Amino acid sequence: MAIRPITSVSDISARGQKQRKAGLLLVLFSFTAALSVAQNPLIRDQYTADPSARVFGDSVYLYPSHDILATKDRGRMGWFCMEDYHVFSSANLTDWIDHGVIITQNKVPWVKPDSYSMWAPDCIERNGKFYFYFPSPADSAQYGRGFRIGVAIADKPTGPFIPQPEPIKDVRGIDPNVFIDKDGQAYLYWSAGNIYGAKLKANMVELDGEVKTLGELPIKGLKEGPFLFERNGIYYLTYPHVENKIERLEYATGSNPLGPFKFAGVIMNESPTGCWTNHHSIVQFQKQWYLFYHHNDYSPAFDKARSVRADSLFFTPDGTIQTVKPTLRGVGVTKASTTIQMDRYSRLSDDGASIEFIDSLDRFGGWQTVLTKKQAWVQYNTVDFGKGAYASVEMNVKAPTGGSLQVRIGSINGPILAEINIPPGAEWKLVKSSKLKRASGLQNLFLISQTAETIAVDWIRWQK
C-alpha cells in the first residue's frame, strides 16, 4: 500500500482504524513514516486546490482551497464544492502538517449560507498579524449577487482566524492575492474575468484609492488567479489564462506593482490530462524558487477535485522565468530510511513500466509502479543515504509469478546496491535483503526488473 500520510493529530485514530484492516504491521509502518509525504501531490488524504504558499519564519505555509465532492444535499453536482479552508505547513517541503480547518462558510457573517464556494484564498503577514483573504458568494439580500472577498485575522499563521463582519468594500470577484512592497505599501489583486488591482490601507481590510483594471494583459480568454511578486526590481504579475481551451500559467512584468505590465511568457503549459483550471503561487524558500500549482491527480475523470503540487522554478540571468514542467517527483530530499514511493518517479523506462492506482475505488490509497518486462525500470531522484550505515533494504512488492529486482544508483548501469528476490504470490508482501552495498549522500535510485513477468512495487526503504 502506498501508506497514507498521517498529517494531523486527529487523523491518526481514523487512519489507524482503516489501516488495521491491512494488518498490524502496516499500522506500525504508518506511524514511523507518519510525515514522509514528499513528491506530488503534496497532500495525500484530501483534495486541495489553488495553493497560496507563503514563507513565514522558517517554514512554508500552504493555504489551499479544499475541494470536496458535491452531493444531492451539498453544493451543485458536477461543479466545484468547497465549504472550508485548512492550513498546512512544512519546514522542508517534504513533511507536511495539516493544522486543520481555519475558516468555515457558515461561520462567516457575510457569506451566503451553504453556498459551498470558498474559492482560492491567500494569506499575508504584516506587523505580526496574519491576514487571510478569501472569496465567497455573499448574502445577496444585503450585498447583491456574486462573489465578494473577505478577510480573517490571526496572531499566528495557523490561526485562530477571526473573520471581519463585512466583505471588503468596492471589491467584487474571486481569487484575492496580496502583495506588500518594499516601501510597506500593500496591494490587493483579484479577478472577475479580468485582473484588477488596488492599494490597501495599512489596516489591510480597506481599499485605498481607485481600482485599476490590468487591461494590458492578453485581451482574449479568461484570466484569473493573480499572484504578484517582486524580484530584483521586476514586478511579476502571474496568472492562469485560457489562451486555447483550458488554463495555462502565464506572466507579465512591469516596474510598478500596478503596472503597466507586458506579457512575458508561459510559466506552465496546459495540463496534459486536461485539468481545466490551474492556480498557483511562487515563493522563494531557502534560496530556491518554487511553483505551487494544482492538478487532478486523485480524480482523473473529474477535474473539480484537485490536488496541490510543487516543482522547482528557475530564472534566467535576465529575469525570464523558465517554463516549469510538471513532475510527480516534485521537490525536496527523500531520506533512504523512509518509505520511498517509487511511483512518484523521476523517469520511467519507455517500455514495460507504468503507474496505476493500487485500488481504483480508494484512490487516496495511492499508486504502484508496475514493471512488466525484463529491464523495465523506474528512477527516483535525490534520495539521502546520509553516511550510509544501513543493515538491510526492504520493499513492499507483489509478483504473482515471482521475480527479482536490481537496486542501482546513478544510472541504469550504475553500481548495484542490492538484488531482491520476490517469491510468487497474489498479495502484497514485505521482502527484505541484508546483502547490501553501501551508498552515501544524495543519490538517484533505480529499480530494474530482472524478469519478464509482472512485478508491482509500492515502496522501498533502508533500515539500520
Task: Say if residues 352 and 456 touch (Cβ distance below 8 Å).
Answer: no
Under DSSP, the state recorded for 74 is: B
Q: Of the two residues 49 and 328, which places its CB atom closer to ligand FUB in the complex?
A: 49
Where residue 114 falls (left for φ over 0; alpha for ψ -120 to 50; beta otherwise) is left
Q: Is 225 among the residues that bind ligand FUB (CB under 6 A)?
A: yes
3-state secondary structure of 84: strand
Q: Is 132 among the residues that bind ligand FUB (CB under 6 A)?
A: no
Q: Is 270 among the residues that bind ligand FUB (CB under 6 A)?
A: no
Q: Minimum CB separation from ligand FUB for residue 88, in Å?
A: 17
Q: Is 61 among the residues that bind ligand FUB (CB under 6 A)?
A: no
Q: Minimum CB separation from ligand FUB for residue 120, in Å?
A: 4
Amino acid at 401: T
Q: Judged by CB under 6 A, which of 171, 174, 336, 383 binds ligand FUB?
A: 174
Q: Minimum CB separation from ligand FUB for residue 247, in Å?
A: 8
Q: Minimum CB separation from ligand FUB for residue 222, in Å?
A: 10
Distance separating alpha carbons of residues 461 and 337, to the nearest angstrom: 5
Catalytic residue of the set 67, 175, 224, 458: 224
Q: Is 157 among the residues that bind ligand FUB (CB under 6 A)?
A: no
Q: Is 120 among the residues that bind ligand FUB (CB under 6 A)?
A: yes
Q: Minimum CB separation from ligand FUB for residue 355, in Å?
A: 25
Burial of 45: CB neighbours in 10 Å, binned 0-12, 13-18, 19+: middle
Q: Are strands 186-192 and 174-180 parallel, antiparallel or unpaired?
A: antiparallel
Q: Minimum CB separation from ligand FUB for residue 175, in Å?
A: 5
DSSP string, 188-213: EEEEESEEEEEEE-TTSSSB-S--EE
Q: Is 448 among the residues that bind ligand FUB (CB under 6 A)?
A: no
Q: Is 371 among the residues that bind ligand FUB (CB under 6 A)?
A: no
Q: Of the two residues 295 and 398, which places its CB atom closer to ligand FUB in the complex?
A: 295
Q: Judged by CB under 6 A, which of 54, 223, 279, 280 binds ligand FUB?
A: 279
Under DSSP, the state recorded for 321 is: B
Q: Is 296 among the residues that bind ligand FUB (CB under 6 A)?
A: no
Q: Is 137 among the residues that bind ligand FUB (CB under 6 A)?
A: no
Burial of 147: CB neighbours in 10 Å, binned 0-12, 13-18, 19+: buried
Distance separating alpha carbons of residues 256 and 187, to the nearest angstrom: 11
Q: How many CB atoms lie within 10 A of CB 208?
A: 14
Task: Say if residues 460 and 395 touch (Cβ distance below 8 Å).
Answer: yes
CB closest to ligand FUB, residue no: 119
What cell numbers appear for 420 in the block? 531482491
Angle, in degrees to the nearest 10, between helices 9-21 and 24-32: 150
From the list 284, 299, 290, 287, the residue with the least C-alpha distance to 268 is 290
Q: Of the two residues 214 and 342, which places its CB atom closer to ligand FUB in the complex?
A: 214
Q: Is 65 among the residues that bind ligand FUB (CB under 6 A)?
A: yes
Q: Judged by CB under 6 A, which of 90, 277, 334, 396 binds ligand FUB?
A: 277
Q: Is 250 among the residues that bind ligand FUB (CB under 6 A)?
A: no
Q: Judged by CB under 6 A, which of 29, 47, 61, 80 binds ligand FUB?
A: 80
Task: Say if residues 161 and 132 touch (Cβ distance below 8 Å).
Answer: yes
Q: Minimum CB separation from ligand FUB for residue 68, in Å?
A: 12
3-state secondary structure of 438: coil
Q: Minimum CB separation from ligand FUB for residue 76, in Å?
A: 13
Q: Judged by CB under 6 A, which of 83, 122, 224, 270 binds ligand FUB?
A: 224
Q: Judged by CB under 6 A, which of 2, 5, 50, 297 binds ligand FUB?
A: 50
224 among known catalytic residues: yes
Amino acid at 154: A
SS3 content of the chain, % helix, strand, coil (to 5): 5, 45, 50
Q: How many residues bind ligand FUB (CB under 6 A)?
A: 12
- CA distances, 212 to each of 190, 191, 194, 228 (Å): 11, 11, 11, 15
Under DSSP, the state recorded for 452 is: S
Q: Of the two residues 125 and 175, which places its CB atom closer to ligand FUB in the complex?
A: 175
Distance separating alpha carbons of residues 53 and 310, to the nearest angstrom: 10
Q: Is 345 among the residues that bind ligand FUB (CB under 6 A)?
A: no
Q: Is 459 among the residues that bind ligand FUB (CB under 6 A)?
A: no
Q: Which of residues 316-335 bind ligand FUB (CB under 6 A)?
A: none
Q: Is 237 among the residues that bind ligand FUB (CB under 6 A)?
A: no
Residues identified as active-site: 50, 224
- Interface contacts to ligand FUB, rule CB under 6 A: 49-50, 65, 80, 119-120, 174-175, 224-225, 277, 279
